[in-house]
């Protein structure tokens, strides 16, 4: 199994705009549940710490294999989400690792 964890900072000129954009990111990724072969688990978390170094949103997902994660990267549903979100995500950090 492969864990795929991605964290983003989200665009927003005001607190309200940032909150709305975070909700958009959250809703968009939640639509992927049950639509991607090999995607075993998907969870979206929104930061509550408000620490200055914290990211705004985290995606935690599990894939049955490295091949399933590679297929996800180019899957049409994932491409749809990327296009829908456009430039709402302004910084990105990622870690993928095998679970033994």
Instruction: Please give the full DSSP string across 45-91, using - where no structure is assigned.
Output: EE--S--TT--SEEEEEEESSHHHHHHHHH-HHHHHHHHHHTTSEEE
Residue 9 pLDDT class (50, 70, 90 cuts): very high
Digit-coded pLDDT (tens) for 32-91: 999 999 999 999 999 999 999 999 999 999 999 999 999 999 999 999 999 999 999 999
Stretch 11-30: mean pLDDT? 96
- Domains identified in the chain and CATH numbers: 2-98 (3.30.70.100)
CB 94 within 8 A of CB 5: yes
Strands 39-46, 2-10: parallel, antiparallel or unpaired by DSSP? unpaired
Cβ-contact 36, 78 below 8 angstroms:
yes
Mean pLDDT of 1-8: 98
Instruction: Report residue 100's pLDDT band, with 50, 70 and 90 as the boundaries.
Output: confident
């Amino acid at each position: 199994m492969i864990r795929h964890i991605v964290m983003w900072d989200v665009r927003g000129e005001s607190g309200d705009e940032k909150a709305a954009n975070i909700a958009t990111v959250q809703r968009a990724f939640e639509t992927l549940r049950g639509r991607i072969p090999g995607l075993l688990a998907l969870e979206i978390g929104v930061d509550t710490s408000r620490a200055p170094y914290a990211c705004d949103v985290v995606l935690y997902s599990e894939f049955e294999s490295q091949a399933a994660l590679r297929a996800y990267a180019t899957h049409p549903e994932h491409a749809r989400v990327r296009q829908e979100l456009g430039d709402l995500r302004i910084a990105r950090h990622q870690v993928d690792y095998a679970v033994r």
